[in-house]
Every structure is written in C-alpha cells, then in structure tokens.
Amino acid sequence: MKTIGQQKLTAKQMALVDHLVATGEPLARAAEAAGYAAGESGRVTASKTIRLPHVQVYMMQRVTETLGLNATVAAAKVLHLASGAKSEYVQLEAAKDILDRAGFKPIDRSQVQVAGDIRVSIDLS
C-alpha cells in the first residue's frame, strides 16, 4: 500500500494505474490485469476507481515519471533528425524545435493599426 495525501492506495489500485500508464491499454484490459473481476462489473469498478482523487494523484505521478524517463529518448531523436534526416524540411523543423526549447524562440510580431474616427452619439429624447 502507498499513501497519497490522507488516502491509501490498495494493491489493486496501484496495479490498475501502473498497467494503464505502462501499456496504454483500454480500461477493461487494465482492470483484468490488475485483478478486478472480468467483464462489465470489473470495468465499472475500475472506472469508478480511476476517478478517485487519490488514485488520480498517483496516476499523474506515474505519468510524470514515465514522461521524464522517456524525455531523453525523445531529445536524442530530435537531435538525430536535425543532423541526419534525409529531408531538409525535417532537419529544419527539428532544428527549430531544438532552438525553441533552448530559449531561442523568435519573437511573435503582430502589428495592429487602427485608423479612423469613431463617434458615439446617444440621443435620450
């Protein structure tokens, strides 16, 4: 069991979330893999479980961990594309993405010019 805030996660709740995050499979399959009853009743129970606030907090923690671990793979892929892609367009887009993430995003410039004379006349008679 793991404590999130004031609530304790059960082994089934943790298994459900871990399976969902790791595989991305539909809730019904994740429910069966986590030990919930097979069929509709297990899916319904898992659906209610996944909406519990402490389960949601745990799921966000697991998603953040997973994305953090895989960010290095994504960064390496973008670097590889910037230097080795066959298409110059792909190289350009990867290079722009790298520069953007390094803080060298071009300034968004928009100029709005209003010309004219606006008059409002309210007649209360």
Query: 54-82: per-residue pLDDT in tens?
Result: 999 999 999 999 999 889 899 999 999 99
Task: Please check the confidence at residue 6 and state whether its pLDDT lies above 70.
Answer: no
Q: How far is CA 73 from CA 17, 67, 69, 79, 83, in A?
A: 23, 10, 8, 10, 16
HEC profile of 7-69:
EEECHHHHHHHHHHHHHCCCHHHHHHHHCCCCCHHHHHHHHHHHCCHHHHHHHHHHHHHHHHH
| Structural domain spans, the chain | 2-101
Q: How far is CA 121 from CA 20, 91, 118, 124, 125, in A?
A: 63, 58, 10, 10, 12
* Nearest-5° Cα angle at 108, 106 to 112: 155
Q: What is the pLDDT of residue 53?
A: 92
pTM above 0.75, yes or no: no
Q: What is the pLDDT of residue 60?
A: 95
Q: What is the pLDDT of residue 122?
A: 85
**Average pLDDT over the chain, rounded to whole?**
88
Instruction: Tell me the average pLDDT across 34-56.
Output: 90
